[in-house]
Amino acid sequence: GRLEAVTQQMGYHPQYLDSFLKTQHYLMHMDGPLPFDCRHYIAIMAAARHQCRYLVNLHVLQFLRAGGDPQWLRGLDFIPPKLRNLNEINKILAHRPWLITKEHIEKLLKISEWSWSLAELVHAVVLLAHCHALASFVFGCGCEQDDGLGGRGSLKPLSPGNQCFCEVTTGNGCSQELLRINRKRSLDSCMELDSLRERMQRIHVETEGREETRLLQQDREEGEGQGAEVGVQDGTEHCSDLSAGLSPLADTDGEVTGATNLACYMQDPDFGYQDFARRDDDQTQVFRVQDYSWEDHGFSLVNRLYSDIGHLLDEKFRMVDGLQSSAMAKRQGCEPSVFKRGIWNYIHCMFGIRYDDYDYAEVNQLLERMLKVYIKTVTCYPEKTNSEMFDRFWKQFKHSEKVHVNLLILEARMQAELLYALQAITQYMI
């Protein structure tokens, strides 16, 4: 009767979990511009860009339950052209969102019988950004290799059939509690979320104690002096310098699990993240939040074209910002808000988004180099996150604090993708 891995990890922060579940339920199961089977197929396409077998398995099963055509699961060559035309935006948003332009939007909206409506496109863009960011969380917290609370086993391959996703990942029957959440059809039905919150609080208390005991035992076994603290670079105002040279750690197995199985869901698999333009490259323009922000521009646009989703997204952004992280910030010698803003702005910086009122020298002062490597890997190429990274980095942090950092990564990345996509839609509409 265990809950699946993403819910377990987010359960360390029950208020955020409530907000996340409401948003995901609205995107996937409530009234909206897109048919239900298409929503899950778009989620499959998004998750496949990061070779996230965990999310692909989940949405394959839900796609079939929504009445989707099994032939579509053979790959992009077997889906309607309208859906296949979304592939280019999916690829760009997943890896280099700063490349999206109003021409990409215009192409989708003006393709004769296969054209998208603005409302459909906004729904699709939110789904893509949601699943890209969730893939980062899945890899960052080890859910891709889910086996119990530690998330350090092997994910069993999905065999579409009568099993629910919980049975596939845990080997146990799905709890009636989680089934009620998945099947509810109204946001007004809150009893299941209240029950889940209580259960998550119990899990939090139990697992936090086990995690601290495990870490203490591990530290005793490893002894002292394993790896001196890495020094950080001098502060600089240039975005590209903050992430330059921070390469992901190589996977010990030398391969990405499940990559070959997911190849049919994507084109141009070699297209990936590249460091945002260096300061001597004038070809790529920095995205300045003062000119286009979520609060002043993105929120109203998305809420107008896809009713109420703006409110749910805004609540989720605010919720992650309001999570308590006093212990984590205290260890870094700063205020919680300063530490969280440093992580948020560092993530946005890697996507070329700048805040004129922020001193980027603070990033190097607040974030140790190894923590920056972890954040960049999970944000930009999560599929290269290996099974040791979550445990090895910042051992002085509690498990819930590590999850909090991954939630910041999830939301900052999602907002970055949305800003670029919504700005392009706005430019098209002008």
Catalogue the active-site residues.
52
Whole-number Å distance between alpha carbons of 345 and 239: 10
CA dist 324 → 404, 409, 414 (Å): 9, 16, 21
HEC readout, the chain: CCCCHHHHHHCCCHHHHHHHHHHHHHHHHCCCCCCHHHHHHHHHHHHHHCCCHHHHHHHHHHHHHCCCCHHHHHCHHHCCHHHHCCHHHHHHHHHCHHHCCHHHHHHHHCCHHHCCCHHHHHHHHHHHHHHHHHHHHHHHCCHHHCCCCCCCCCCCCCCCCCCCHHHHHHCCCCCHHHHHHHHCCCCCCCHHHHHHHHHHHHHHHHHHHHHHHHHHHHHHHHCCCCCCCCCCCCCCCCHHHHHCCCCCCCCCCCCCCCCHHHHHHCCCCCCCCCCCCCCCCCCCCCEECCCCCHHHHHHHHHHHHCCCHHHHHHHHHHHHHHCCCHHHHHHCCCCHHHHHHHHHHHHHHHCCEECCCCCCHHHHHHCCHHHHHHHHHHHHCHHHCCCCHHHHCCCCCCHHHHHHHHHHHHHHHHHHHHHHHHHHHHHHHC
Whole-number Å distance between alpha carbons of 257 and 139: 11
177-186 contact pairs (CB < 8 A, 24+): 178/3, 178/4, 178/7, 181/21, 181/25, 184/25, 185/29, 185/30
81 CB contacts (<8 Å, ≥6 apart)? 111, 114
CA 416-419-425 angle, 5° bins: 145
